[in-house]
Structure 1
């Protein structure tokens, strides 16, 4: 039985979010100030350690159990010619994940993480959202629930990724619904040509017009214009917040998937960082709307959770410095002098 039986039930879960533990974050900041380096010299690495501690609720934070969840779904809108690849590639890539032949398999190994790939009804694509809602309410809630229930409560960090031919179209349409501007979030995705990009933009505009009555509400917009893998990432991000697990979001599709959370509640993504900015055109625009700064900019646009998996290494570097460096007292190194002017 799905965890969420109605949209109202889901909305209530989003409104009931635990806060960060600022006490342990302050403890981390206190240690950072004593380490053998000029204050703030490790930049965002220092902030990331405090962020991990605040959302795990423990000092020092840890990265012993890192879970990478990749959700896969198929989209009926691919019938409109919006992707350079056929829909059957989704299932083929899921098989490649299982055979450990994909980029995410290699990056998971380097990140010392656990990878789980969850295909969601690949034989039954969502409806073509130019003709009707991508998902009925029950389908949407089932996918959200699947994502929510996939998150292990013992995880120290959750990484969200996806696979789904056509899902950059869904992500662009959902972003347009949430933040306006029509098809401005559309990009080339898997590599469509100029004619394909024009079709994609036309499809998004038609979908936004068709669902104009529903998209004022973020949850109804996610059901009408999203996909099962997007809904599952929404559910997983929500579960992580409820279970005190910090989150790394991957690229454009993953960010669009969780954007309705912030549209519903301003602090709903405070437990999440975006691992990287995708080369997909709409990601920068979406991050600007969300007020989120990615950790990396490597020109990646693969999906699969790949950019966020690379960012796990950044978090490990931050934690290693915080826990492994000596303090000035331990190293018997003189701390900075404080002048009368500074005092």
Structure 2
């Protein structure tokens, strides 16, 4: 159950993304109660499989595409940045999720046999070490060749983009960013470059005390956040070929869920209305991101139907999505109701006070 404490609401999914979704329904109610009938038609699409890859969404869009067509889309995610500024995102990174599995002996063995019996844990570690180098550069053959370089316009946007570095360091309890990056290079890496992340590794005995075991199995879960022109299928193919070239044909690659990236112009009709709405609701200009560094099924819907996207919402930079104590500020929730109502007004061509 959600818990209210110190002006915040804590609960699983409260930021990602129950708060955003419910606030928009309440904004529609508030608009009709205070102003009158809506100035436009709204189509609401909720689906419950986003965290596991939205396996049935593409078929749903193909079947009901005509009923889903729209002039703009407000995506489900949105947050204030570390400085407390409203943000608007105009796209999402894609994702490719894979399991790497290595098998050795038919069952766990005594560790004295490590002299002659192969250890799948070491095989997995050695394979993983070929995917990135000590400079945090992805070294999978051909991977970075598929990353679309930023245009002059995108470079200019990043140069001017407000990004609270000290606030981000403080929130995450770290003293420096990867490669000690700052300024433009930090923003370019965060917004426009892919990732290769070890999400977890399992092998052998990891309980209390000691157990001298040579494990029979080792596995790792990895996610890749994707930017144009990377796709999940391309990543899996490149990864398999990369491992085979280095003699790791015993490392099984098991594809999980995947989403393609989606990026929309920062001056689209949806983004323009979102900027006007947030400026009116918050009393200051929002920060417009070229995309959100997270992932979701945006391409399955908006790219398929050619619907421009803007995302803004009720979260904050310390909302702790996917972590203990996920939260939103109640004041931010109310502000998002106000901002979304103003978005409806602005998107329909009406002047905001």
Q: Say which one has the larger Rg.
A: 2
TM-score by length of 2: 0.27
TM-score by length of 1: 0.28
Higher helix share: 1
Specify which structure has the bigger relative contact order, considering alpha-carbon pairs within 8 angstroms and separated by 6 or more residues.
Answer: 2
Higher strand share: 2
